[in-house]
Amino acid sequence: MADVLSHSALLARAQSSQGTSCSYTPVRCSVHYSKQASAHLPSRSAVLLRAIQCQAGVSGRKKPPSTLAKSKKKSKTPEGTVQGAELNGAGRRLSKVIEQDVLVEDFSLDDIELDDNDDGDYAAAGETFMNAVVKVLCVHSKPNFSLPWQRKRQFTSTSSGFMVRSEDGQRWLLTNAHSVEYHAQVKVKRRADDQKFLAQVLAVGTDCDIALLTVEDEAFWEGVTPLELGPLPTLQDAVAVVGYPIGGETISVTTGVVSRIEVTSYSHGATELLGIQIDAAINPGNSGGPCFNEIGQCVGIAFQSLSHGEADGIGYVIPTPVINHFLTDYRRNGRFTGFPVLGVKWQRMESAGLRSAYGLDPPRKGVLVRSIWPTSPVSKEVKPDDIIMRFDGVDIACDGTVPFRRGERIAFSYLISQKYTGESAQLDILRGGEELSITVPLDRPHPLVPIHLDDKQPSYLVIAGIIFTVCCEPYLDSEYGDAFINDSPVRLMDLTLHGHREFIEQEIVVLSQVLACDATLGYEEIHNTQVLHFNSTRIRNLAHLAQLTTACTQPFMRFDLDLDEVVVLDTKTALKATEEILAMHSIPSVVSKDLAHAVEAARSNIAASAAAIPTAA
């Protein structure tokens, strides 16, 4: 099992769907849920929920406390139909209709004994929380990965966000990363306010699905108290999710309890980080909204849920340890640098025979290192067949878990995720029967096939009618839809699931398509295949290919492809055809802007070489 980008995380994200209002609804996640009888709502939670309900316009009536014992029933509440849209992301097709009947806890206000004059006090308390929750309206301008010099038609989405204040007094907004993906414009709207304010995106954490925003207009912040981030909740704690889901324009509140806390697959970033599972409804548009505990503290950000048909009433919340990690990373570096990983694949050692063969006798425990990523910073210190017994002094069990809280255990990748990129960790390992203590650096992963481009435009190169680009998951999604994990070429899928970079700059260059012209006659059927060599030189990345083709002085250009296919072009004919193709298809340049420097460098080298040739006397 890899510590990041496990198959379960990739499958959960690749087979996910998303509603029109920016809330992920992963399908076919490997999550099993057993509904348990819910505890009675604590009195402090009743106060918070009463305050929020008063602000939402719900009134209760007095009832004797004896009826509280009857409040454990569940009611089936139809939440409407969510229409899918073209809100495409890496590994997702979003044109799907989801009909949800959401099971929520019936914490009826009838079960709470209140004085007739208490509504005003509760409403004032609820207003403090509710006013800090905003609607996020984003205009997205996503690239066309199949025609990488173009962008798709702009579209809009709505989601939720909330105000927080940093330790040094800076005023920020938190929402989900997928809510502002490839944003062209972001506006935010306060509750009960008709004015929309322009927002600026300060940082986007794709790994943890968090985005940090701010608003320059002082009027936006007037009269609002930012939310306080609370501690990690415990099982059966009552929670309330507040936001602006689809189905209406006003603020919405759903309530439930914490069902599970564990390392969870984050569908947007295909990562595995600490997550909270709740039984409160999280619908499209709730994304980015706060999840309150019983005393009004924000304990997380709503970000995804299971689709109807898999399970009812299962939502997921990004907990405050992950939020604080993101914010601390931004404060330290001025940007998001990511969650680090070890960069190894490991195996559980639950088999007594396996432990005996490696000399792992009781009371020693640990996990077996199967392989190390070539670009992993630990590759010089850790070797295959090492047994990792402790991480920063914490014992790792043979099933790969570590102590979490009283009576709880969690995957040891949680300990790694608490570190920051560039930090070091101490590993106690068993190698050949000898215990060693080593210090290893930590870095964020560099997948061979990128999961996201961090809102960058895709790279491309045009030679005659041949379009070359870099293989990434958004490209595969553009070509094959959300089923790309099953429908894309086997070789590319194998690289996506199992490939690792041999060096940091390595990219998988693919021949995307062939635009018909005389120079490419006979090659029109070739598409989506890896390019391995150019004129016998192994290709390192797309910039390298651009340099090689620009500097080519040979009469022919030979491209060696996967599956032993070969494409050969006459150099002079190809260069002439390139200009015609650019004009015919309105392509602005032979290469994308990010590759222009590589082409200019190659041309400069050609000019320098020509100048160095002595002229005849």
Question: Has residue 1 got a pLDDT over 90?
Answer: no
pLDDT in tens, 158-215: 999 999 999 888 999 999 999 999 999 999 999 988 999 999 999 999 999 999 999 9
What is the pLDDT at residue 37? 32
Lowest-confidence region among 104-118, 343-357, 488-502, 524-538? 104-118
Cis peptide before 245 (omega within 30 of 0): no
- Rounded to the nearest angstrom, the gap between the alpha carbon of residue 482 and the centroid of all alpha carbons in its chain is 16
pLDDT in tens, 158-174: 999 999 999 888 999 99
Q: Collect contacts of 363-367 with beta carbons under 8 A, ≥24 apart.
A: 364/389, 364/430, 365/389, 365/395, 365/396, 365/397, 365/398, 366/390, 366/396, 366/398, 366/429, 366/430, 367/396, 367/398, 367/400, 367/412
CA contacts within 13 A on the Cβ side of 248: 10
Residue 178 annotated among the catalytic residues of the structure: yes
What is the pLDDT at residue 82? 29
What is the pLDDT at residue 612? 60
pLDDT bracket for residue 348 (50, 70, 90): very high
What's the mean pLDDT when you consider all of the chain? 83
What is the pLDDT at residue 52? 54
pLDDT bracket for residue 546 (50, 70, 90): very high
Question: Has residue 602 got a pLDDT over 80?
Answer: yes
pLDDT bracket for residue 480 (50, 70, 90): very high
Question: Has residue 517 got a pLDDT over 90?
Answer: yes
pLDDT in tens, 294-333: 999 999 999 998 876 666 778 999 999 999 999 999 999 9
- Rounded to the nearest angstrom, the gap between the alpha carbon of residue 247 and the centroid of all alpha carbons in its chain is 26
pLDDT in tens, 71-82: 333 333 333 332
Q: Which of 209, 329, 428, 477 is catalytic?
A: 209
Say which CATH class 7-333 falls into. Answer: mainly beta
Residue type, 197: F
In CATH, the architecture of 344-441 is Roll (2.30)
What is the pLDDT at residue 32? 29
At residue 523's C-alpha, the angle toward residues 519 and 529, to 5°, is 125
Over residues 604-617, the mean pLDDT reads 64
Q: Which of 3, 38, 178, 386 is catalytic?
A: 178
Distance CA 235, CA 230 (A): 15
Lowest-confidence region among 105-109, 436-440, 476-480, 537-541? 105-109
Find the helix or strand (DSSP H, E) in which 355 lies: helix 352-357
pTM of the entire structure? Answer: 0.80
What is the pLDDT at residue 301? 98
Share of the chain above pLDDT 70, in %: 77
Task: Return the CATH fold of 460-612.
Answer: N-terminal domain of MutM-like DNA repair proteins (3.20.190)
Domains 7-333 and 344-441 share a fold: no
20 or 48, greater pLDDT: 48
Question: Has residue 109 got a pLDDT over 50?
Answer: no
Sign of CA dihedral 132, 455, 149, 590: positive
Distance CA 469, CA 487 (A): 19
Distance CA 401, CA 413 (A): 8
What is the pLDDT at residue 312? 72
CA 56 to each of CA 63, 281, 615: distance values in angstroms, whole numbers, following the listed order: 21, 17, 86
pLDDT in tens, 118-130: 444 445 556 778 9
Question: Has residue 18 got a pLDDT over 50?
Answer: no
Query: What are the sequence ranges of the domains in the chain?
Result: 7-333, 344-441, 460-612
pLDDT bracket for residue 389 (50, 70, 90): very high
Question: Has residue 585 got a pLDDT over 70?
Answer: yes
Ramachandran angles phi, psi of 263, nearest 5°: -70, 125
Question: Has residue 136 got a pLDDT over 70?
Answer: yes
Q: Which of 267, 287, 305, 592 is catalytic?
A: 287
Residue 209 annotated among the catalytic residues of the structure: yes
Question: Has residue 502 got a pLDDT over 70?
Answer: yes
350 or 601, greater pLDDT: 350
Q: Among 319, 342, 352, which Cα is nearest to 412's?
A: 342
For residue 529, the 8-state DSSP code is E
Question: Has residue 4 got a pLDDT over 90?
Answer: no
Residue 594 annotated among the catalytic residues of the structure: no
108 or 583, greater pLDDT: 583
Share of the chain above pLDDT 90, in %: 70
What is the pLDDT at residue 357? 96
Question: Has residue 17 got a pLDDT over 60?
Answer: no
